[in-house]
A = this chain, B = another copy of it.
Amino acid sequence: MNVTVWNENRHEQKNPVVRDIYPKGIHGAIAGFIEEAGHRVQTATLDQPEHGLTDDVLNDTDVMIWWGHLAHEEVDDAIVEKVKNRVLDGMGLLVLHSGHFSKIFKSLMGTGCDLKWREADEKERLWVIEPSHPITEGIGEYIELEKEEMYGEHFDIPAPDELIFMSWFEGGEVFRSGCTYKRGSGKVFYFRPGHETYPTYHNEDIQTVIKNAVKWAAPAKREKPVYGNAQPLETISPK
Contacts and interface: CB of A to CB of B under 8 A. Distances in A.
A154 B108 CA distance: 18
A190 B90 CA distance: 25
A220 interface: yes
A86 to B, nearest CB: 13
* Chain A residues touching B, range: 35 or more
Nearest to A154: B225
A184 B156 contact: yes
> How many protomers of this protein does the assembly include?
4
A134 B92 CA distance: 13
A88 interface: yes
A156 B116 CA distance: 28
A170 interface: yes
B222 A138 contact: yes
Interface of A: 88, 90, 107-112, 114-118, 120-123, 125, 127-134, 136-141, 150, 152-154, 156, 158-159, 161-163, 166-174, 176, 181-187, 219-233, 235-236, 238-239
